[in-house]
Amino acid sequence: MKKLGLLIIAIGFIACQSENKTNGTADTTNLVTSADSLSFKYDSVKVYSKTPVIINKKNDTTKAVIVFPLFSDKKVNQFVESKIKLTADSGKNYKTYNDYAADFVKGYDDFRTSEKDYPQTWILAIKARVVTQKPAYLSLLSIYMNYSGGAHPNSVFTYINYNPTTHQEILLDSLIQPGSMAKLTAVAEKIFRKNEKLSPTASLKDGYFFEKDTFKLNDNFTVTDQGLKFLYNPYEIKAYVYGTTELVIPFSELKEIAKPNSLLSPTN
C-alpha cells in the first residue's frame, strides 16, 4: 500500500486543480499577500493528452500539472522557475513551465503511437509551495512526482532557499563556519542514530545506502523555527517503501557551527 501512497497523493493533487481541460492553460488562484516586501499568488500550467485510455470502463488521459508561486518580483520568479525545471534533472533546457509540461505529454503521445494497446496513463505532478517567507529568506518545497509506468511513481522533494534581498541562492556553506562541515556532520549523525534507534557503533550497511558505511549530509535543507532541517528522498538512503527521511538539528547544537548573524545564528 505504501508504494501507491505518492501516486494517490498526486492524483488527489491533480483532482483539486481546475478540470478545464484546455492544453497549456494557466490557472491563477489563491492570492496570498504578506506583510513582507514580497507578495505572491499560486499559478498553474496544465497540459492534457488528447489520447484517452479506458480504465475500468472510464476514460482517463495523461496529465502534466505544474503549480508554482508567482511573485511580484520578477527576479525571484526567474530563480524559482529555473530551480523547478531542474527538479527532474531531465537534461533538457525548457524555456517555460508550459514547455516542460507539453514535452512530458508529447512523450506519452509518441509512445502510444507505437504502443496503441498500452493500458495506462502517465502523470507528471509538480507543486512548489512557499515554506518560509521573510525579508532576507525565502524557502520553498518543490514536490515532483512522475509516473510513466512501472511499480510506483518516481518522486523527489527538494528545498529551494533564496535571499530575495541579494537575489542569491542560499547554500549550506554560506551558513556555517569555514571548515565546520565535519562537526556539523558529527552532530547530525548522533541525531540520525537516535531517530533511527541505532547505537553509536551500529553499522549503516544493513538497511541504508550510505557510501562506505559512512553517514553523510546532503544539501537538501531548509531553516525552520526549530533549527536546520535536512530531507533525504526515497531511494537516497533507504528503500523506496520507507519514503522520505527528515532530520532536524536544533539551533542549540549549532552555536559553534553557525556563522555569526546568519540564519542559523541564535541571535539572528
In order of their start, the domains of the chain are 2-169 (3.30.565.40), 172-253 (3.90.640.20)
Look at 114-118, 158-162, 239-243 and tell me which has the smallest mean pLDDT: 114-118
pLDDT tens, position by position, 178-191: 999 999 999 999 99
Q: Which residue's entry shows cell 488562484?
A: 29
Cβ atoms of 12 and 37 within 8 Å: the answer is no
Share of the chain above pLDDT 70, in %: 83
Q: State the average pLDDT for the chain.
A: 85
pLDDT tens, position by position, 198-222: 999 999 998 899 999 999 999 999 9
pLDDT tens, position by position, 124-142: 999 999 999 998 999 999 9
Beta bridge pairs of residue 155: 145
Residue 88's identity, in one-letter code, is A
Look at 88-102, 194-208, 214-228 and tell me which has the smallest mean pLDDT: 88-102
**Cα 215 off chain centre by:** 22
Residue 89 pLDDT more than 50? yes
Look at 48-52, 90-94, 103-107 and tell me which has the smallest mean pLDDT: 90-94
Residue 15 pLDDT more than 50? no
More confident residue, 110 or 57: 110
What is the pLDDT at residue 27?
Answer: 47
What is the pLDDT at residue 266?
Answer: 60
Prediction pTM value = 0.85
Backbone angles phi, psi at 244, to 5 degrees: -85, 160
What is the pLDDT at residue 37?
Answer: 53
The whole-angstrom separation of Cα 5 and Cα 1 is: 7
What is the pLDDT at residue 102?
Answer: 95
Q: Which residues contact 156 (CB under 8 A, 6 or more apart)?
A: 87, 88, 142, 144, 233
What is the pLDDT at residue 52?
Answer: 87
DSSP string, 185-252: HHHHHHHHHHHTT--TT--STTT---GGG-----S-EEE-SSEEEEEE-TTTSS-GGG--EEEEEEGG
Residue 226 pLDDT more than 80? yes
CB atoms within 10 A of CB 261: 9
DSSP category for residue 49: -
Confidence of residue 85 (pLDDT cuts 50, 70, 90): confident
What is the pLDDT at residue 267?
Answer: 59
